[in-house]
């Protein structure tokens, strides 16, 4: 493939990258803790950004002393986030515009998230156009981020080599997964910092990103 053929696909993280949903997660987690006469504050929420839902729910279970299993907690927390998303979806700056540009240029796309598939599907349905060819949720894989399974699965479902893909992530956990899969991983830090390391690509925003900006990643 020559440079003009790249990227073969663009793989999107959801929470914090496509949508600014992290405050919704914190609110839902805090409400769950309050229902158990416990608390879950801002720093707690920051600590689980990018973590698999199973792992974050296990920590929440331990904190509040809930008798519920992690999957039951995941379902409750997800329902709380979904109820907020039904009122308003806070798109990240430039994300929906870039996604539309990719679709107009016939670039394959996937939504690759640690959130439940049903939540990702709901978000995808609100974009206003067919934004994604493939959705891989946290419940679609055995190993969540930072393991590369979700990115490898998405690229396989799209029929592309992950090395020919761009991946957008907002957390260290997420970009670690995308890098391990072999993608051109781009970090757009939002609520938590992504540390720089050798070869890592960090952008300040997705606003005004062009097709040429994406092709340049493969030079």
Q: What is the 3-state secondary structure (H, E, C) of the chain?
A: CCHHHCCCEEEECCECCCECCHHHHHHHHHHHHHHCCCCCCHHHHHHCCCCCHHHHHHHHHHHHCCCCCHHHHHHHHHHHHHHHHCCCCCECCCHHHHHHHHHHCCCEEEEECCCCHHHHHHHHHCCCCCCCCEEECHHHCCCCCCCCHHHHHHHHHHCCCHHHEEEEECCHHHHHHHHHCCCEEEECCCCCCCCCCCCCEECCCCCCCCHHHHHHCCC
Q: Confidence band (pLDDT; 50, 70, 90) for 4?
A: low
Q: Are residues 66 and 110 in the same domain?
A: no
pLDDT at residue 3, as a whole number: 57
Q: Are residues 74 and 103 in the same domain?
A: no
pLDDT at residue 141, as a whole number: 96
Q: Are residues 122 and 186 in the same domain?
A: yes
pLDDT tens by residue, 85-123: 999 899 999 999 999 999 999 999 999 999 999 999 999
pLDDT at residue 12, as a whole number: 98
Q: Are residues 120 and 12 in the same domain?
A: yes
CATH of the domain at 205: 3.40.50.1000
pTM for the structure as a whole:
0.91
User: Which domain-ending residue is among 62, 85, 108?
Assistant: 85
Who wins on pLDDT, 219 or 150? 150
Quick one: what percent of the chain has pLDDT higher than 90?
A: 76
**Average pLDDT of every residue of the chain:** 93
Q: Are residues 102 and 189 in the same domain?
A: yes
pLDDT at residue 52, as a whole number: 82
User: Which domain-ending residue is among 66, 85, 104?
Assistant: 85
Q: Are residues 16 and 27 in the same domain?
A: no
Number of domains in the chain: 2
Q: Are residues 65 and 99 in the same domain?
A: no
pLDDT higher than 90, residue 55? no
Q: What range does the domain containing 191 cover?
A: 3-20+91-216
Q: Are residues 96 and 175 in the same domain?
A: yes
Q: Are residues 115 and 200 in the same domain?
A: yes
Q: Are residues 98 and 192 in the same domain?
A: yes
């Amino acid at each position: 493939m020559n440079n003009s053929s790249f990227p073969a696909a663009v793989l999107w993280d959801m929470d914090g990258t496509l949508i600014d949903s992290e405050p919704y997660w914190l609110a839902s987690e805090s409400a769950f803790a309050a229902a158990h006469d416990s608390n879950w504050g801002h720093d707690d929420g920051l600590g689980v950004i990018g973590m698999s839902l199973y792992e974050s729910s296990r920590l929440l279970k331990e904190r509040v002393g809930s008798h519920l299993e992690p999957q039951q907690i995941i379902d409750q927390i997800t329902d709380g986030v979904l109820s907020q998303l039904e009122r308003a979806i806070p798109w990240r700056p430039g994300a929906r515009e870039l996604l539309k540009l990719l679709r107009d240029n016939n670039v394959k796309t996937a939504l690759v998230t640690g959130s439940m598939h049903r939540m990702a599907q709901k978000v995808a349905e609100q974009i206003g156009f067919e934004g994604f060819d493939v959705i891989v949720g946290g419940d679609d894989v055995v190993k969540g981020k930072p393991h590369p399974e979700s990115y490898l699965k998405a690229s396989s479902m799209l029929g592309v080599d992950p090395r020919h893909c761009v991946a957008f992530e907002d957390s260290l956990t997420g970009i670690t997964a995308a890098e391990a899969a072999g993608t051109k991983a781009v970090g757009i830090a939002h609520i938590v910092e992504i540390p720089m390391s050798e070869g890592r690509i960090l952008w300040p925003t997705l606003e005004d990103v062009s097709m040429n900006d994406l092709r340049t990643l493969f030079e």
